[in-house]
Amino acid sequence: MDQSTLLSYCMTKPGAVQSVRQEWQANQIKVGEVMFAMTHTVDGRPAVSLKSSAEMAEALRSAFNAAVPGERLNKAHWSTLFLDGDIPDSQFYQLVDASWQWAVAGLPEATRQTLNI
């Protein structure tokens, strides 16, 4: 998996908006005002950070060496996933979908209606 492909996939999610966080040299992808993904480089390795339940985050970290607690983010709900590690490419798509759904569930109803989601 490469960052460009993953970022493009994130941007297909309804309501997705990208911004750059200069101090982290990261692309943040939000739905409404809630971030659901961040592509960045950690220790020279391409990575994405995704949000999930604390239980899902723990399961990911147990299943894959390339999944670690979120870099610069809440470690209970955010996992940083190295794109060059042991996570299958297909798994990244499912994890992005789950992170987007997690973010949308936390949006106020009025925001969801405005975004038609």
Q: Which CATH number fits domain 3-108: 3.30.470.10, 3.90.1150.30, 3.30.1330.10, 3.40.50.620?
A: 3.90.1150.30
Pairwise CA distance, residues 60 & 31, whole Å: 23
Pairwise CA distance, residues 35 & 107, whole Å: 11
pLDDT per residue as tens digits for the range 52-89: 999 999 999 999 999 999 878 999 999 999 999 999 99
What's the whole-model pTM score? 0.93
Strand partners, 80: 49, 68
DSSP element (H, E) containing 103: helix 89-105
Longest pairwise C-alpha distance within the chain: 40
Mean pLDDT of 24-34: 93
CB 1 within 8 A of CB 92: yes
pLDDT per residue as tens digits for the range 16-26: 999 998 888 89
Mean pLDDT of 32-50: 95
